[in-house]
């Protein structure tokens, strides 16, 4: 299907890759000592949901459920990519008043929603601060690229799966 892998293998690889990225984020937090910001935490949740959709899709026995998993992956990757792009933008063009330590859209317009969903999962770092880079790109930049790759692989897999179904029906 994609790179000679079946749809199930693509979904398993995607799930494993997401879990590896999450593990690396936890390593950076707990071993290296980098404090995640609220936007980093939201990206972790999006990555976890991508892994969940990929894992459930890989375990499903029907192509329809695998395709539903791919659609879920596309949605979560799009959301995570949006948050990562926003954080990258904040890092490249930091506001005069640093607000991300509390912001995430004004902490949902200044609290309630049960105290802004426990202050957006307890991230404490500054979203505009760049604590770590690899090849000149920050964690947010790499996160955006990973979400973009996940979305691209999902879209290509979905299109190929739908095309296969169409060929099988007609032929």
Would you kindly state where each structural domain of the chain is located, as residue ranges?
Answer: 7-170
Residue 97 has what pLDDT?
Answer: 61
CA distance 151 to 78: 7
- What CATH number was assigned to the domain covering residues 7-170? 1.20.1550.10
Q: Cα torsion at 26, 30, 32, 35 (round to 10°)? A: 80
pLDDT tens for each residue of 5-45: 788 888 999 999 999 998 988 888 888 888 888 888 889 89
Residue 101 has what pLDDT?
Answer: 47
What are 137's strand-pairing partners? 134
């Amino acid at each position: 299907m994609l790179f000679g892998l079946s749809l199930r293998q693509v979904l398993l690889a995607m799930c494993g890759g997401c879990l590896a990225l999450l593990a690396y984020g936890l390593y950076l937090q707990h071993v290296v000592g980098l404090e995640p910001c609220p936007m980093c935490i939201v990206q972790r949740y999006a990555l976890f949901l991508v892994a969940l959709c990929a894992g459930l899709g890989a375990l499903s026995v029907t192509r329809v459920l695998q395709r539903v998993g791919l659609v879920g992956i596309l949605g979560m990757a799009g959301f995570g990519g949006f948050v990562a792009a926003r954080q990258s933008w904040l890092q490249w063009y930091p506001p005069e008043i640093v607000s991300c330590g509390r912001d995430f859209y004004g902490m949902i317009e200044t609290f309630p929603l049960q105290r802004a969903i426990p202050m957006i999962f307890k991230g404490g770092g500054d979203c505009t601060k760049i604590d770590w880079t690899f090849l000149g790109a920050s964690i947010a930049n790499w996160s955006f690229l990973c979400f973009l790759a996940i979305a691209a692989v999902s879209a290509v897999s979905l299109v190929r799966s739908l095309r296969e179904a169409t060929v099988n029906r007609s032929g």
